[in-house]
Amino acid sequence: EVQLVESGGGLVQPGGSLRLSCAASGFTFDDFAMHWVRQCPGKGLEWVSAISWNSADRVQADSVKGRFTISRDSVKNILYLQMDSLRVEDTALYFCARDKKILYGSGTYLDFWGPGTLVTVAS
Amino acid sequence: QSVLTQPSSASGPPGQRVTISCSGNISNIGGSTVNWYQHLPGTAPKLLIYRNTQRPSGVPNRFSASKSGTSASLAISGLQSEDEAEYYCASWDDSLNVVIFGGGTKVTVL
């Protein structure tokens, strides 16, 4: 059974940092690209970042470019999101999701999602 | 503001048919495939439709979708109370090089 479980969320002050983790199990982690998607309070789903199967390709939304870094550990089967220079508007429930393909792009779809981890940026 | 445009809400009595539209442009829907996700608050979003019209195993055939040009639509026939949720369309945007989601449509069963 495919499982994705996020962790690492919490309360952080503006300007601070946080690293989210997503533990993957039930499938061959190296065979799939992975994504982070967030939902800010009262808002819809917003795509954040994606990484290819072998970490060679990464892409981010403009809203987090230069502040957030996606990475993955193929030995531990964990997806990460390093979040620096956090802003109040980054407050959200963060989901990790599996891409059906090894490389994101045209035809990409997210077939399994985790339940999310909550990040609150406030002073 | 979302690049894909959806109505904010849709509703109908049990058993009714509801449709949700999703409008984009040549860089996203027009040049790629459309996927639909169902999201209930407090739970993981669920893939409902992929590659414009395909249903993953386990998704009831009450859910169907189509795509034409730069627009797509999701239909829910035989509406049931368990269908109350937020529905999102999504696509890859070749111009922006990102995944884009619609703003979401809240479906209410009257």
**Would the CB atoms of A109 and B51 count as touching at under 8 Å?**
yes
Quick one: CA torsion of A41, A46, A49, A52, rounded to 10 degrees?
A: 130
* pLDDT at residue B84, as a whole number: 96
Distance from CA of A94 to the nearest CA of B (A): 10
- Which chain B residues touch A59 with a CB distance below 8 Å? 97-98
**Predicted confidence (pLDDT) per residue in A14-46, tens digit:** 999 999 999 999 999 999 999 999 999 999 999
pLDDT tens string B62-84: 999 999 999 999 999 999 999 99
Give pLDDT, residue B41. 87
- A45/B88 CB distance under 8 A: yes
Q: Taking a C-beta distance cutoff of 8 angstroms, is the pair A37, A104 a contact?
A: no
Tokens 């531990």 locate to A76
Tell me: pLDDT of A47 over 70: yes
Residue B2 has a pLDDT of 58
User: Distance (Å) from the C-alpha of residue A14 to the closest C-alpha of chain B?
Assistant: 24
The mean per-residue pLDDT over the stretch B89-107 comes to: 96
Give residue B83's pLDDT: 96
Is pLDDT at B1 greater than 70 in this prediction?
Answer: no
Q: What is the pLDDT of residues B9-26, one digit of tens each?
A: 999 999 999 999 999 999
Each residue's pLDDT tens digit, A63-107 = 999 999 999 999 999 999 999 999 999 999 999 999 998 889 888
